[in-house]
Amino acid sequence: SLTEKLGQALRNLRGVGTLSEENMAEALKEVRSALLSADVHFKVAREFVERVQQQAVGQQVTKGIAPGQQVIKIIHDELVRLLGEGTTALSGERPLKVLMVGLHGSGKTTSTAKLGKLLKKRGYRPFVVACDVYRPAAIDQLEILAKQEELGFYADRVSKDVPAIGSAALAEAQAATADCIIFDTAGRLQIDQDLIEEVKRLRARVQPDEVLLVADGALGQEAVNVAKAFHDALQLTGLVLTKMDGDARGGAALSIKTITGVPIKFVGTGEKTADFEPFHPDRLASRILGMGDVVSLVEKAQETIDQKDAEKMAEKLRKADFNLEDFLAQMQQVKKMGSMQSIVGMLPGMSGMQLPEGADKQMARTEAIIKSMTFQERRKPEILNGSRRKRIADGSGTKIVEVNQLLKQFSEMQKMMRMFKGGGGKKMMRQLEA
Ligand code: GDP
Ligand code: MG
Distance in angstroms (rounded) separating the CA atoms of residues 250 and 115 = 20
The residue nearest atom 20 of ligand 1, judged by CA position, is 107
| 156 marked as part of a ligand binding site | no
Between 301 and 211, name the one with better pLDDT: 211
Q: Is there an atom of ligand 1 within 6 Å of 271 CB?
A: yes
CA of 106 to the centre of ligand 1 (A): 6
pLDDT at 429 > cutoff 50? no
| 244 marked as part of a ligand binding site | yes
CB-CB contact of 163 with 170 (8 Å)? no
CB-CB contact of 82 with 258 (8 Å)? yes
CB-CB contact of 329 with 430 (8 Å)? no
Instruction: Pick the atom of ligand 1 nearest to 110's CA.
Output: 7
Distance in angstroms (rounded) separating the CA atoms of residues 434 and 425 = 14
Domain 96-278 = CATH 3.40.50.2000 = no
Domain locations along the chain: 1-15+305-434, 96-278
Residue 424: predicted pLDDT: 46
Residue 432: predicted pLDDT: 46
pLDDT at 8 > cutoff 90? no
Beta strand pairing call for 152-154 and 276-278:
unpaired
Q: ipTM of this complex > 0.95? A: yes
Dihedral sign for Cα 150, 156, 162, 168, please: negative
Q: Which residue out of 106, 239, 247, 271 has the highest number of ligand 1 atoms within 8 Å of its CB and is therefore the one to mutate?
A: 271
Distance in angstroms (rounded) separating the CA atoms of residues 404 and 386 = 10
pLDDT at 348 > cutoff 50? no
**What is the mean predicted confidence (pLDDT) over 344-363?**
59
Between 101 and 61, name the one with better pLDDT: 101
Q: Is there an atom of ligand 1 within 6 Å of 102 CB?
A: yes
Domain 96-278 in the same topology as domain 1-15+305-434: no
Q: Is there an atom of ligand 1 within 6 Å of 70 CB?
A: no
Dihedral sign for Cα 61, 48, 285, 236, please: positive
Q: What are the pLDDT digits (tens) for 251-307? A: 999 999 999 999 999 999 999 999 999 999 998 998 999 875 566 767 666 665 555
Q: Which residue out of 99, 103, 106, 110 has the highest number of ligand 1 atoms within 8 Å of its CB and is therefore the one to mutate?
A: 110
Dihedral sign for Cα 55, 59, 64, 66, please: positive
Q: Is there an atom of ligand 1 within 6 Å of 330 CB?
A: no
Q: What are the pLDDT digits (tens) for 21-60? A: 888 998 899 999 999 999 999 999 999 999 999 989 988 8
Between 73 and 173, name the one with better pLDDT: 173
CA of 253 to the centre of ligand 2 (A): 21
CATH node for 1-15+305-434: 1.10.260.30
Q: What are the pLDDT digits (tens) for 79-94? A: 999 999 999 999 988 9
pLDDT at 337 > cutoff 50? yes
CA of 216 to the centre of ligand 1 (A): 9
Closest ligand, as measured to the CA of 101: 1
